[in-house]
A and B are shown apart, each in its own frame.
Chain A
Amino acid sequence: MIPAEQQTKLIKLTVNGETRALSVETHWTLSKVLRNECGHTGTKEACGEGACGSCTVLIDGVAVPACMVLAVEQEGKEIETIEGLSKGGTLHPIQEAWLEEYGAQCGFCSPGMIMSTKALLSKNPDPTVDEIKEAIGGNLCICNNYEHIINAVRSAAKKMAKEQGRG
Protein backbone atom coordinates (compact mmCIF):
# COMPACT_ATOMS: atom_id res chain seq x y z
CA MET A 1 0.00 0.00 0.00
CA ILE A 2 2.55 2.53 1.14
CA PRO A 3 5.52 2.69 -1.22
CA ALA A 4 8.55 1.52 0.74
CA GLU A 5 10.83 4.38 -0.27
CA GLN A 6 8.81 6.90 1.73
CA GLN A 7 8.74 4.73 4.84
CA THR A 8 12.49 4.61 5.24
CA LYS A 9 14.77 7.57 4.75
CA LEU A 10 18.48 8.12 4.91
CA ILE A 11 19.37 11.02 7.19
CA LYS A 12 22.61 12.63 8.23
CA LEU A 13 22.94 14.19 11.63
CA THR A 14 25.59 14.93 14.24
CA VAL A 15 25.43 13.20 17.60
CA ASN A 16 27.84 14.59 20.20
CA GLY A 17 30.08 15.99 17.48
CA GLU A 18 30.17 12.79 15.42
CA THR A 19 28.44 12.88 12.02
CA ARG A 20 26.31 9.84 11.31
CA ALA A 21 24.36 8.59 8.33
CA LEU A 22 21.39 6.57 9.48
CA SER A 23 18.60 4.75 7.75
CA VAL A 24 15.47 5.46 9.78
CA GLU A 25 11.85 4.45 9.48
CA THR A 26 9.44 7.38 9.30
CA HIS A 27 7.69 6.58 12.56
CA TRP A 28 10.83 6.21 14.68
CA THR A 29 11.28 8.83 17.37
CA LEU A 30 14.63 10.46 18.05
CA SER A 31 14.87 8.76 21.46
CA LYS A 32 14.39 5.35 19.87
CA VAL A 33 17.07 6.06 17.26
CA LEU A 34 19.56 7.41 19.81
CA ARG A 35 19.10 4.35 22.00
CA ASN A 36 18.74 1.58 19.43
CA GLU A 37 20.73 2.81 16.42
CA CYS A 38 23.41 4.95 18.10
CA GLY A 39 23.83 2.97 21.31
CA HIS A 40 23.32 6.09 23.43
CA THR A 41 21.20 4.52 26.14
CA GLY A 42 21.93 7.43 28.50
CA THR A 43 18.84 9.03 27.00
CA LYS A 44 16.05 7.41 29.02
CA GLU A 45 12.49 6.93 27.96
CA ALA A 46 9.82 6.69 30.64
CA CYS A 47 6.39 8.11 29.73
CA GLY A 48 6.89 8.26 25.96
CA GLU A 49 4.30 11.03 25.76
CA GLY A 50 6.21 14.24 26.37
CA ALA A 51 5.22 14.52 30.00
CA CYS A 52 8.30 13.53 32.05
CA GLY A 53 11.46 14.88 30.41
CA SER A 54 13.58 11.77 31.04
CA CYS A 55 14.35 11.66 27.30
CA THR A 56 15.58 15.29 27.14
CA VAL A 57 18.32 15.96 24.59
CA LEU A 58 19.54 19.14 22.91
CA ILE A 59 18.78 19.77 19.25
CA ASP A 60 20.91 22.68 18.01
CA GLY A 61 21.28 23.71 21.66
CA VAL A 62 17.55 23.63 22.50
CA ALA A 63 16.23 21.15 25.09
CA VAL A 64 13.44 18.94 23.73
CA PRO A 65 11.68 15.68 24.67
CA ALA A 66 13.26 13.21 22.21
CA CYS A 67 10.30 10.83 22.51
CA MET A 68 8.04 13.39 20.80
CA VAL A 69 10.18 14.29 17.80
CA LEU A 70 10.52 12.21 14.66
CA ALA A 71 14.03 11.11 13.73
CA VAL A 72 13.35 11.64 9.99
CA GLU A 73 12.96 15.35 10.68
CA GLN A 74 16.45 15.76 12.16
CA GLU A 75 18.40 16.01 8.90
CA GLY A 76 21.48 18.19 9.43
CA LYS A 77 20.77 18.81 13.12
CA GLU A 78 23.29 18.76 15.95
CA ILE A 79 22.13 16.47 18.72
CA GLU A 80 23.69 16.46 22.17
CA THR A 81 23.04 13.71 24.68
CA ILE A 82 24.30 13.03 28.19
CA GLU A 83 27.11 10.94 26.70
CA GLY A 84 28.57 14.06 25.09
CA LEU A 85 29.16 15.93 28.34
CA SER A 86 32.31 14.44 29.84
CA LYS A 87 35.51 14.96 27.92
CA GLY A 88 38.36 12.42 28.08
CA GLY A 89 37.12 10.97 31.35
CA THR A 90 36.66 14.38 32.99
CA LEU A 91 33.14 15.16 34.11
CA HIS A 92 31.33 18.29 32.96
CA PRO A 93 30.87 20.87 35.77
CA ILE A 94 27.11 20.14 35.77
CA GLN A 95 27.82 16.45 36.34
CA GLU A 96 30.31 17.30 39.11
CA ALA A 97 27.70 19.49 40.74
CA TRP A 98 25.22 16.60 40.52
CA LEU A 99 27.66 14.35 42.40
CA GLU A 100 28.54 16.90 45.06
CA GLU A 101 24.96 18.02 45.74
CA TYR A 102 23.42 14.53 45.60
CA GLY A 103 21.43 15.48 42.49
CA ALA A 104 20.68 11.81 41.81
CA GLN A 105 18.85 9.34 44.00
CA CYS A 106 17.86 6.52 41.65
CA GLY A 107 19.32 8.64 38.82
CA PHE A 108 16.71 7.89 36.20
CA CYS A 109 15.77 11.54 35.74
CA SER A 110 19.38 12.79 35.88
CA PRO A 111 20.33 12.64 32.17
CA GLY A 112 17.22 14.64 31.25
CA MET A 113 17.58 17.04 34.17
CA ILE A 114 21.24 17.64 33.31
CA MET A 115 20.47 18.30 29.64
CA SER A 116 17.72 20.79 30.61
CA THR A 117 20.24 22.42 32.97
CA LYS A 118 22.82 22.67 30.21
CA ALA A 119 20.33 24.45 27.93
CA LEU A 120 19.28 26.78 30.76
CA LEU A 121 22.81 27.77 31.77
CA SER A 122 23.91 28.47 28.22
CA LYS A 123 21.02 30.91 27.84
CA ASN A 124 20.97 32.22 31.40
CA PRO A 125 24.28 31.67 33.26
CA ASP A 126 22.98 32.97 36.60
CA PRO A 127 19.35 31.84 37.00
CA THR A 128 17.14 32.52 40.00
CA VAL A 129 15.44 29.63 41.78
CA ASP A 130 12.18 30.49 40.00
CA GLU A 131 13.91 30.46 36.64
CA ILE A 132 15.44 27.07 37.47
CA LYS A 133 12.02 25.70 38.44
CA GLU A 134 10.52 26.95 35.19
CA ALA A 135 13.35 25.47 33.10
CA ILE A 136 13.13 22.01 34.68
CA GLY A 137 9.33 22.09 35.03
CA GLY A 138 8.99 19.45 32.30
CA ASN A 139 11.46 17.09 34.00
CA LEU A 140 9.88 14.87 36.61
CA CYS A 141 11.78 13.22 39.44
CA ILE A 142 9.74 10.45 41.00
CA CYS A 143 12.27 10.20 43.84
CA ASN A 144 11.19 13.73 44.75
CA ASN A 145 14.80 14.89 44.85
CA TYR A 146 13.96 18.40 43.65
CA GLU A 147 15.61 20.24 46.56
CA HIS A 148 18.98 18.62 45.78
CA ILE A 149 18.49 19.04 42.04
CA ILE A 150 17.91 22.77 42.39
CA ASN A 151 21.02 23.03 44.60
CA ALA A 152 22.96 21.12 41.96
CA VAL A 153 21.84 23.53 39.22
CA ARG A 154 22.88 26.52 41.35
CA SER A 155 26.22 24.98 42.15
CA ALA A 156 26.76 24.12 38.46
CA ALA A 157 26.10 27.76 37.55
CA LYS A 158 28.77 28.87 40.04
CA LYS A 159 31.28 26.29 38.81
CA MET A 160 30.78 27.29 35.20
CA ALA A 161 31.05 31.00 36.01
CA LYS A 162 34.36 30.33 37.79
CA GLU A 163 35.64 28.28 34.90
CA GLN A 164 34.84 31.07 32.46
CA GLY A 165 36.43 33.67 34.75
CA ARG A 166 33.17 35.32 35.69
CA GLY A 167 32.97 34.03 39.27
Chain B
Amino acid sequence: MKRFNHFDATSIEDAVSLLQKHKDASYVIAGGSDLVGCLKDKIWMAYPEAIINLKTIPGLKEIRTDEDGLHLGALVTLTEIAESDIVKKEWAGLAEAARRTASALLRNIGTIAGNICQENRCWYYRYPNKIGGSIDCVRKGGKRCLAVPGDHRFHSIFGQVKKCIAVNPSDTAPALIALNAVVKTTTRDVAIDAFFSAEMGSQSTVLDRDEIVTEILVPHPAPGSASAFRKLAYRKAIDFAMVNCAAAITVEGGNVISARICLNGVHNNPRRCQESEALLIGQPLTDALAKQAGELAVAEAKPLLQNIYKVQMAKTIVADTLMDCAE
Protein backbone atom coordinates (compact mmCIF):
# COMPACT_ATOMS: atom_id res chain seq x y z
CA MET B 1 0.00 0.00 0.00
CA LYS B 2 1.10 3.55 -0.65
CA ARG B 3 0.32 6.58 1.45
CA PHE B 4 -2.93 8.51 1.14
CA ASN B 5 -4.69 11.28 3.02
CA HIS B 6 -6.96 9.72 5.58
CA PHE B 7 -9.99 11.53 6.95
CA ASP B 8 -12.35 10.47 9.73
CA ALA B 9 -15.67 11.90 8.54
CA THR B 10 -17.71 13.48 11.32
CA SER B 11 -21.02 13.51 9.44
CA ILE B 12 -22.50 12.42 6.09
CA GLU B 13 -22.25 16.01 4.85
CA ASP B 14 -18.59 16.11 5.87
CA ALA B 15 -17.91 12.88 3.94
CA VAL B 16 -19.66 14.22 0.81
CA SER B 17 -17.75 17.49 0.92
CA LEU B 18 -14.45 15.58 1.27
CA LEU B 19 -15.39 13.45 -1.75
CA GLN B 20 -16.11 16.63 -3.69
CA LYS B 21 -12.88 18.24 -2.58
CA HIS B 22 -10.89 15.24 -3.80
CA LYS B 23 -13.02 14.78 -6.88
CA ASP B 24 -12.52 11.46 -8.71
CA ALA B 25 -9.44 10.74 -6.56
CA SER B 26 -11.07 9.53 -3.34
CA TYR B 27 -12.99 6.59 -1.93
CA VAL B 28 -15.05 6.10 1.18
CA ILE B 29 -14.04 3.19 3.40
CA ALA B 30 -16.51 1.15 5.44
CA GLY B 31 -15.20 -2.25 6.62
CA GLY B 32 -12.35 -2.02 4.13
CA SER B 33 -12.43 -5.73 3.30
CA ASP B 34 -12.72 -4.94 -0.41
CA LEU B 35 -11.10 -1.50 -0.54
CA VAL B 36 -7.94 -2.36 1.43
CA GLY B 37 -7.32 -5.22 -1.01
CA CYS B 38 -7.64 -2.80 -3.98
CA LEU B 39 -5.27 -0.35 -2.28
CA LYS B 40 -2.71 -3.01 -1.38
CA ASP B 41 -2.60 -4.33 -4.92
CA LYS B 42 -2.79 -0.84 -6.49
CA ILE B 43 -5.22 -2.20 -9.06
CA TRP B 44 -6.45 1.17 -10.35
CA MET B 45 -4.43 3.03 -12.93
CA ALA B 46 -4.42 6.10 -10.63
CA TYR B 47 -3.85 5.71 -6.88
CA PRO B 48 -6.42 7.62 -4.80
CA GLU B 49 -5.27 10.70 -2.89
CA ALA B 50 -7.88 10.49 -0.13
CA ILE B 51 -9.61 7.75 1.85
CA ILE B 52 -12.62 8.86 3.86
CA ASN B 53 -13.64 6.82 6.88
CA LEU B 54 -17.40 6.42 7.33
CA LYS B 55 -17.13 4.51 10.63
CA THR B 56 -16.69 7.73 12.58
CA ILE B 57 -20.14 8.96 11.46
CA PRO B 58 -22.74 8.30 14.16
CA GLY B 59 -26.10 6.69 13.40
CA LEU B 60 -25.25 4.43 10.46
CA LYS B 61 -25.14 1.16 12.39
CA GLU B 62 -28.78 0.62 13.24
CA ILE B 63 -31.05 -2.30 12.36
CA ARG B 64 -34.69 -1.35 12.94
CA THR B 65 -38.15 -2.11 11.62
CA ASP B 66 -41.19 0.09 11.19
CA GLU B 67 -44.32 -0.04 9.03
CA ASP B 68 -42.23 0.51 5.88
CA GLY B 69 -40.05 -2.49 6.56
CA LEU B 70 -36.51 -3.27 7.62
CA HIS B 71 -34.06 -0.37 7.80
CA LEU B 72 -30.40 -1.34 7.60
CA GLY B 73 -27.89 1.43 8.25
CA ALA B 74 -25.06 1.47 5.70
CA LEU B 75 -22.52 0.34 8.31
CA VAL B 76 -24.48 -2.65 9.65
CA THR B 77 -22.14 -5.64 9.35
CA LEU B 78 -22.95 -8.91 7.62
CA THR B 79 -22.52 -10.70 10.97
CA GLU B 80 -25.15 -8.44 12.53
CA ILE B 81 -27.58 -9.21 9.69
CA ALA B 82 -26.88 -12.95 9.76
CA GLU B 83 -27.44 -13.12 13.53
CA SER B 84 -30.45 -10.80 13.74
CA ASP B 85 -33.56 -12.69 14.87
CA ILE B 86 -35.78 -10.08 13.19
CA VAL B 87 -34.06 -10.53 9.84
CA LYS B 88 -33.94 -14.34 10.12
CA LYS B 89 -37.66 -14.45 10.78
CA GLU B 90 -39.10 -12.12 8.17
CA TRP B 91 -36.30 -11.80 5.56
CA ALA B 92 -34.75 -15.29 5.75
CA GLY B 93 -33.21 -15.06 2.27
CA LEU B 94 -31.23 -11.97 3.26
CA ALA B 95 -30.06 -13.43 6.58
CA GLU B 96 -28.88 -16.56 4.77
CA ALA B 97 -27.09 -14.52 2.06
CA ALA B 98 -25.26 -12.55 4.76
CA ARG B 99 -24.37 -15.78 6.60
CA ARG B 100 -22.90 -17.30 3.44
CA THR B 101 -20.81 -14.25 2.49
CA ALA B 102 -17.02 -14.61 2.81
CA SER B 103 -15.86 -15.87 6.24
CA ALA B 104 -16.83 -15.13 9.85
CA LEU B 105 -13.81 -12.81 10.16
CA LEU B 106 -14.71 -10.83 7.03
CA ARG B 107 -18.40 -10.71 7.95
CA ASN B 108 -17.37 -9.08 11.23
CA ILE B 109 -15.89 -6.11 9.35
CA GLY B 110 -17.77 -6.23 6.01
CA THR B 111 -20.81 -3.96 5.82
CA ILE B 112 -24.02 -4.28 3.82
CA ALA B 113 -23.35 -1.09 1.81
CA GLY B 114 -19.78 -2.20 1.11
CA ASN B 115 -21.10 -5.54 -0.05
CA ILE B 116 -23.34 -4.07 -2.74
CA CYS B 117 -20.75 -1.44 -3.75
CA GLN B 118 -17.75 -3.80 -3.99
CA GLU B 119 -15.80 -3.93 -7.23
CA ASN B 120 -15.66 -6.96 -9.46
CA ARG B 121 -13.24 -9.82 -8.83
CA CYS B 122 -12.02 -10.55 -12.36
CA TRP B 123 -8.46 -11.74 -11.81
CA TYR B 124 -7.10 -9.58 -14.62
CA TYR B 125 -8.84 -6.52 -13.21
CA ARG B 126 -7.47 -7.36 -9.76
CA TYR B 127 -3.98 -8.23 -10.96
CA PRO B 128 -1.57 -6.41 -8.59
CA ASN B 129 0.87 -3.74 -9.67
CA LYS B 130 3.72 -6.26 -9.53
CA ILE B 131 5.42 -8.16 -12.33
CA GLY B 132 4.14 -6.61 -15.56
CA GLY B 133 2.10 -3.97 -13.72
CA SER B 134 -1.65 -3.56 -13.13
CA ILE B 135 -3.77 -4.28 -16.18
CA ASP B 136 -5.45 -1.45 -18.02
CA CYS B 137 -8.37 -3.53 -19.32
CA VAL B 138 -11.60 -2.25 -20.88
CA ARG B 139 -13.27 -2.00 -17.48
CA LYS B 140 -10.59 0.49 -16.40
CA GLY B 141 -10.95 2.51 -19.58
CA GLY B 142 -8.30 0.63 -21.57
CA LYS B 143 -8.62 -1.15 -24.91
CA ARG B 144 -8.51 -4.87 -24.27
CA CYS B 145 -10.34 -7.48 -22.24
CA LEU B 146 -7.92 -10.22 -21.21
CA ALA B 147 -10.57 -12.59 -19.95
CA VAL B 148 -12.26 -13.32 -23.28
CA PRO B 149 -9.12 -14.76 -24.88
CA GLY B 150 -7.73 -15.80 -21.47
CA ASP B 151 -9.02 -17.70 -18.42
CA HIS B 152 -12.71 -16.94 -18.01
CA ARG B 153 -13.88 -19.95 -16.04
CA PHE B 154 -15.64 -17.72 -13.48
CA HIS B 155 -16.87 -15.06 -15.90
CA SER B 156 -20.23 -14.13 -17.44
CA ILE B 157 -22.47 -16.71 -19.09
CA PHE B 158 -24.89 -14.04 -20.33
CA GLY B 159 -22.66 -12.06 -22.66
CA GLN B 160 -20.78 -8.83 -22.13
CA VAL B 161 -21.38 -5.26 -21.05
CA LYS B 162 -19.18 -2.83 -22.98
CA LYS B 163 -16.81 -5.70 -23.87
CA CYS B 164 -16.32 -6.69 -20.20
CA ILE B 165 -17.39 -10.14 -18.95
CA ALA B 166 -16.59 -9.77 -15.22
CA VAL B 167 -19.46 -10.88 -12.99
CA ASN B 168 -20.95 -9.02 -10.05
CA PRO B 169 -19.56 -10.90 -7.02
CA SER B 170 -21.99 -9.81 -4.28
CA ASP B 171 -23.86 -12.40 -2.23
CA THR B 172 -26.35 -10.01 -0.66
CA ALA B 173 -27.24 -8.29 -3.96
CA PRO B 174 -29.52 -11.10 -5.26
CA ALA B 175 -31.25 -11.35 -1.87
CA LEU B 176 -31.93 -7.60 -1.79
CA ILE B 177 -33.24 -7.81 -5.36
CA ALA B 178 -35.51 -10.76 -4.59
CA LEU B 179 -36.83 -8.81 -1.58
CA ASN B 180 -37.32 -5.65 -3.65
CA ALA B 181 -35.19 -3.35 -1.50
CA VAL B 182 -34.61 0.38 -1.92
CA VAL B 183 -31.13 1.89 -1.60
CA LYS B 184 -31.18 5.29 0.07
CA THR B 185 -28.29 7.58 -0.77
CA THR B 186 -27.23 11.13 0.00
CA THR B 187 -29.13 12.38 -3.05
CA ARG B 188 -31.92 9.90 -3.94
CA ASP B 189 -33.80 6.66 -3.37
CA VAL B 190 -32.79 4.01 -5.91
CA ALA B 191 -34.89 0.90 -6.50
CA ILE B 192 -32.53 -2.06 -6.13
CA ASP B 193 -33.41 -3.22 -9.68
CA ALA B 194 -31.84 -0.01 -10.98
CA PHE B 195 -28.87 0.13 -8.58
CA PHE B 196 -26.30 -2.13 -10.22
CA SER B 197 -24.60 -0.90 -13.34
CA ALA B 198 -21.44 -2.35 -14.83
CA GLU B 199 -22.09 0.20 -17.60
CA MET B 200 -20.56 2.89 -15.34
CA GLY B 201 -16.91 1.83 -15.73
CA SER B 202 -14.89 0.24 -12.97
CA GLN B 203 -17.54 0.64 -10.28
CA SER B 204 -20.46 -1.79 -9.96
CA THR B 205 -23.28 0.67 -9.28
CA VAL B 206 -25.05 3.79 -10.58
CA LEU B 207 -23.67 5.89 -7.71
CA ASP B 208 -22.00 9.20 -8.55
CA ARG B 209 -18.46 9.50 -7.22
CA ASP B 210 -19.63 11.91 -4.49
CA GLU B 211 -22.72 9.89 -3.54
CA ILE B 212 -22.90 7.71 -0.43
CA VAL B 213 -25.32 4.93 0.51
CA THR B 214 -26.86 5.80 3.87
CA GLU B 215 -29.50 3.10 4.34
CA ILE B 216 -31.12 0.09 2.74
CA LEU B 217 -34.85 -0.38 3.15
CA VAL B 218 -36.33 -3.84 2.70
CA PRO B 219 -40.14 -3.82 2.62
CA HIS B 220 -42.23 -6.21 4.71
CA PRO B 221 -43.11 -9.31 2.69
CA ALA B 222 -46.85 -9.86 2.10
CA PRO B 223 -48.57 -12.56 4.20
CA GLY B 224 -47.83 -16.01 2.78
CA SER B 225 -44.33 -15.07 1.62
CA ALA B 226 -41.07 -16.94 1.94
CA SER B 227 -37.53 -16.18 0.77
CA ALA B 228 -34.36 -18.24 0.41
CA PHE B 229 -30.74 -18.01 -0.75
CA ARG B 230 -28.28 -20.56 -2.08
CA LYS B 231 -24.64 -20.35 -3.09
CA LEU B 232 -22.25 -22.61 -4.94
CA ALA B 233 -18.55 -21.98 -4.29
CA TYR B 234 -15.34 -24.00 -4.45
CA ARG B 235 -14.64 -23.74 -0.76
CA LYS B 236 -17.83 -23.33 1.20
CA ALA B 237 -16.25 -21.38 4.05
CA ILE B 238 -14.89 -18.33 2.25
CA ASP B 239 -14.90 -18.36 -1.54
CA PHE B 240 -16.89 -16.08 -3.79
CA ALA B 241 -19.90 -17.66 -5.47
CA MET B 242 -19.49 -19.35 -8.82
CA VAL B 243 -23.25 -18.94 -8.95
CA ASN B 244 -25.69 -17.82 -6.26
CA CYS B 245 -29.44 -17.32 -6.23
CA ALA B 246 -32.12 -15.71 -4.11
CA ALA B 247 -35.87 -16.06 -4.46
CA ALA B 248 -38.90 -14.59 -2.74
CA ILE B 249 -42.37 -15.93 -3.44
CA THR B 250 -45.86 -15.25 -2.12
CA VAL B 251 -48.48 -17.99 -2.11
CA GLU B 252 -52.23 -17.48 -1.73
CA GLY B 253 -54.79 -20.26 -1.83
CA GLY B 254 -52.10 -22.74 -2.84
CA ASN B 255 -50.96 -20.74 -5.88
CA VAL B 256 -48.00 -18.44 -6.38
CA ILE B 257 -49.23 -14.84 -6.69
CA SER B 258 -45.88 -13.09 -6.81
CA ALA B 259 -42.29 -14.16 -7.40
CA ARG B 260 -38.91 -12.47 -7.62
CA ILE B 261 -35.86 -14.56 -8.51
CA CYS B 262 -32.30 -13.31 -8.97
CA LEU B 263 -29.06 -15.01 -9.99
CA ASN B 264 -25.63 -13.51 -9.37
CA GLY B 265 -22.13 -14.44 -10.44
CA VAL B 266 -23.50 -15.10 -13.92
CA HIS B 267 -23.39 -11.67 -15.57
CA ASN B 268 -21.87 -8.18 -15.13
CA ASN B 269 -24.93 -7.16 -13.11
CA PRO B 270 -27.11 -9.35 -10.89
CA ARG B 271 -29.66 -10.99 -13.19
CA ARG B 272 -33.40 -11.13 -12.49
CA CYS B 273 -35.05 -14.24 -13.95
CA GLN B 274 -38.26 -12.59 -15.17
CA GLU B 275 -39.35 -15.39 -17.50
CA SER B 276 -39.07 -17.88 -14.64
CA GLU B 277 -40.99 -15.51 -12.34
CA ALA B 278 -43.83 -15.15 -14.89
CA LEU B 279 -44.08 -18.93 -15.29
CA LEU B 280 -44.80 -19.45 -11.59
CA ILE B 281 -47.71 -17.02 -11.32
CA GLY B 282 -51.08 -18.68 -10.75
CA GLN B 283 -49.63 -22.15 -10.21
CA PRO B 284 -48.82 -24.27 -7.18
CA LEU B 285 -45.06 -24.44 -6.60
CA THR B 286 -44.06 -28.01 -7.34
CA ASP B 287 -40.76 -29.72 -8.05
CA ALA B 288 -41.60 -30.01 -11.74
CA LEU B 289 -42.54 -26.33 -12.01
CA ALA B 290 -39.36 -25.26 -10.20
CA LYS B 291 -37.29 -27.32 -12.63
CA GLN B 292 -39.05 -25.67 -15.56
CA ALA B 293 -38.31 -22.26 -14.01
CA GLY B 294 -34.65 -23.28 -13.80
CA GLU B 295 -34.63 -24.18 -17.51
CA LEU B 296 -36.17 -20.82 -18.40
CA ALA B 297 -33.61 -18.95 -16.30
CA VAL B 298 -30.78 -20.14 -18.55
CA ALA B 299 -32.67 -20.19 -21.86
CA GLU B 300 -30.73 -17.14 -23.06
CA ALA B 301 -27.32 -18.16 -21.69
CA LYS B 302 -24.35 -17.63 -24.01
CA PRO B 303 -21.53 -19.34 -22.14
CA LEU B 304 -17.91 -19.22 -23.24
CA LEU B 305 -15.60 -22.15 -23.72
CA GLN B 306 -14.50 -22.50 -20.09
CA ASN B 307 -17.67 -21.65 -18.20
CA ILE B 308 -20.33 -23.84 -19.76
CA TYR B 309 -20.52 -25.67 -16.43
CA LYS B 310 -22.07 -22.59 -14.84
CA VAL B 311 -25.19 -22.93 -17.01
CA GLN B 312 -26.00 -26.26 -15.38
CA MET B 313 -25.30 -24.76 -11.95
CA ALA B 314 -27.55 -21.76 -12.58
CA LYS B 315 -30.38 -23.96 -13.80
CA THR B 316 -30.20 -26.21 -10.76
CA ILE B 317 -29.72 -23.49 -8.18
CA VAL B 318 -32.86 -21.64 -9.36
CA ALA B 319 -34.95 -24.80 -8.97
CA ASP B 320 -33.43 -25.64 -5.57
CA THR B 321 -33.81 -22.12 -4.19
CA LEU B 322 -37.46 -22.07 -5.25
CA MET B 323 -38.08 -25.36 -3.47
CA ASP B 324 -36.44 -23.92 -0.33
CA CYS B 325 -39.17 -21.26 -0.45
CA ALA B 326 -41.84 -23.95 -0.73
CA GLU B 327 -40.76 -25.64 2.50
Q: Please list the residues of chain A having a beta carbon within 8 angstroms of any beta carbon in chain B.
A: 1-3, 6-7, 9, 25-27, 29, 48-51, 53, 56, 62-65, 68-70, 72-73, 75, 116, 133-139
A62 and B108 contacting across the interface, CB-CB below 8 Å: yes
Q: Contacts A2-B5, A3-B5, A138-B106 given; 18 further ones with Cβ under 8 A? A: A2-B3, A2-B4, A25-B3, A27-B4, A48-B40, A50-B36, A56-B105, A64-B105, A65-B105, A65-B109, A68-B37, A68-B109, A70-B32, A73-B32, A137-B103, A137-B236, A137-B238, A138-B237
CA distance A72 to B7 in the complex (A): 10
Q: Assess whether B130 is interfacial by the CB under 8 Å rule.
A: no
Within 8 A of A (CB), among B61-107: 102-106
CA distance A1 to B103 in the complex (A): 38
The interface-forming segment of B49-57, B153-161, B214-222, B282-290 is B49-57
Q: Assess whether B29 is interfacial by the CB under 8 Å rule.
A: yes
CA distance A69 to B30 in the complex (A): 10
Nearest opposing residue in chain B for A62, CB measure: B108
A26 and B102 contacting across the interface, CB-CB below 8 Å: no
Partner of A135, one of B55, B102, B104: B104
Nearest-Cβ distance from residue B80 to partner chain A, whole angstroms: 11
Q: How large is the interface on B (under 10, 10 to 19, 20 to 34, 35 or more residues)?
A: 20 to 34
Partner of B108, one of A3, A48, A64: A64
Partner of B105, one of A9, A48, A138: A138
Nearest-Cβ distance from residue A122 to partner chain B, whole angstroms: 13
B4 and A116 contacting across the interface, CB-CB below 8 Å: no
CA distance A136 to B109 in the complex (A): 15
A53 and B103 contacting across the interface, CB-CB below 8 Å: yes
Complex A-B: 16 CB contacts under 8 Å: A7-B4, A26-B6, A27-B2, A50-B37, A50-B102, A65-B33, A68-B32, A70-B51, A73-B55, A134-B104, A134-B237, A137-B236, A138-B102, A138-B105, A138-B106, A138-B238
A contact residues around B2 at 8 Å (CB):
27
B106 and A65 contacting across the interface, CB-CB below 8 Å: yes
A contact residues around B1 at 8 Å (CB):
27, 29
A contact residues around B39 at 8 Å (CB):
27
CA distance A73 to B32 in the complex (A): 11
The DSSP consensus for interface residues of chain B is mixed
CA distance A19 to B307 in the complex (A): 53
Question: A138 and B7 in contact (CB under 8 A), knowing A50-B37, A68-B36?
Answer: no
Residue from A56, A62, A137 having most chain B Cβ neighbours under 10 A: A137
CA distance A8 to B51 in the complex (A): 13
Residue from A68, A75, A116 having most chain B Cβ neighbours under 10 A: A68
Question: A138 and B109 in contact (CB under 8 A), knowing A2-B4, A7-B3, A7-B5?
Answer: no
CA distance A3 to B7 in the complex (A): 12
Nearest-Cβ distance from residue B259 to partner chain A, whole angstroms: 30
Nearest opposing residue in chain A for B128, CB measure: A49
B3 and A27 contacting across the interface, CB-CB below 8 Å: yes
Partner of A26, one of B33, B37, B51, B55: B51
A contact residues around B106 at 8 Å (CB):
50, 65, 68, 138
A51 and B5 contacting across the interface, CB-CB below 8 Å: no
B104 and A137 contacting across the interface, CB-CB below 8 Å: yes
Within 8 A of A (CB), among B173-230: none
CA distance A25 to B106 in the complex (A): 23
Partner of A49, one of B8, B40, B236: B40
CA distance A6 to B103 in the complex (A): 32
Nearest-Cβ distance from residue B164 to partner chain A, whole angstroms: 23
Question: A49 and B105 in contact (CB under 8 A), knowing A7-B5, A70-B29, A137-B237?
Answer: no
Nearest opposing residue in chain A for B7, CB measure: A6
Question: A6 and B6 in contact (CB under 8 A), knowing A49-B37, A70-B32, A137-B237?
Answer: yes
A contact residues around B105 at 8 Å (CB):
50, 53, 56, 63-65, 116, 138-139
B5 and A69 contacting across the interface, CB-CB below 8 Å: no
A contact residues around B36 at 8 Å (CB):
29, 50, 68-70
Question: A68 and B33 in contact (CB under 8 A), knowing A26-B51, A50-B105?
Answer: yes
